[in-house]
Amino acid sequence: MDTFIFIIEIIGTMAFAVSGALTAMRKNMDIFGVIILAMTTAVGGGILRDLILGIQPPGTFGHPVYGMVATSVAVVLFFPAVRRLLGRNQTIYHWIMLLMDSLGLGIFTVIGIQTAYNAGSKNVFLLVFVGVVTGVGGGVIRDVLAGDTPYIFVKHIYACASIAGAILCIALRPVNHLLAFISGAALVLVIRLLAAKFRWSLPRADLFQDDVL
């Protein structure tokens, strides 16, 4: 199980690193900015999770492999040939962003829950909260650094997908840990992709849309 979780963590790290690097490239950042945004997106949620759980220092600093993976992804994506390919077709760019961001969200939601269980927590609210923070934290930091409104607040169903996956993961855990892990992550991914396809969104305030002066 530990080996499986490590492999899944690496996949999630790569997925979030791609979304961070692509965001930086869209903002015309240099190679340093691309690496920083890739790393921040990949490990930011995990750092917030460990701080909430009282894990000191956060696991990211004790296991540099995650930062190294994120850096490698950023460097590869920065190659001129890759940049030209992504720059030619906005549809490809947006679908890669959607898929990688959704995959990372699903994986890190259940990773957060697993880490909370390992830390001795059995409080359902805390488990869900930590799972969601782990899933969305890196993306929020990424968007703030990039000067965008955080994706979580404006794009389709995002945090709600993470909450649904977290609840399913916790509910299935007494049955089978592996089933709970996979099912929770899969539900997040499916909801995100369906929300993008059918443009599901939460109601918005739409305050002061009309110019009354």
Per-residue model confidence as pLDDT tens digits over 26-60: 999 999 999 999 999 999 999 999 999 999 999 88
| Three-state secondary structure call for residue 58 | coil
User: For residue 169, how many other CB atoms are within 10 A of its CB?
Assistant: 28
pLDDT: which is higher, 108 or 157: 108
**How far is 129 from 123, CA to CA, in rounded Å?**
10
Give me the pLDDT at residue 154, please. 73
**Residue 17 vs residues 22, 76, 82, 158: alpha-carbon distances, Å:** 8, 11, 15, 18
Give me the pLDDT at residue 208, please. 64
**How far is 16 from 62, CA to CA, in rounded Å?**
20
Q: How much of the chain is helix, strand and coil, in % rounded to 5? A: 80, 0, 20
Assign 114 a pLDDT band (cuts: 50, 70, 90).
Answer: very high
Assign 89 a pLDDT band (cuts: 50, 70, 90).
Answer: confident
Give me the pLDDT at residue 194, please. 94
| Three-state secondary structure call for residue 140 | helix
Q: What is the pLDDT of residues 173-193, one digit of tens each?
A: 999 999 999 999 999 999 999
**How far is 165 from 181, CA to CA, in rounded Å?**
9
Q: What is the pLDDT of residues 127-162, one digit of tens each?
A: 999 999 999 999 999 999 999 988 787 766 889 999
pLDDT: which is higher, 155 or 73: 73
Assign 92 a pLDDT band (cuts: 50, 70, 90).
Answer: confident
- Please report the DSSP string for 67-133 in residue order: HHHHHHHHHHHHSHHHHHHHHH-HHHHHHHHHHHHHHHHHHHHHHHHHHHHHTT---HHHHHHHHHH
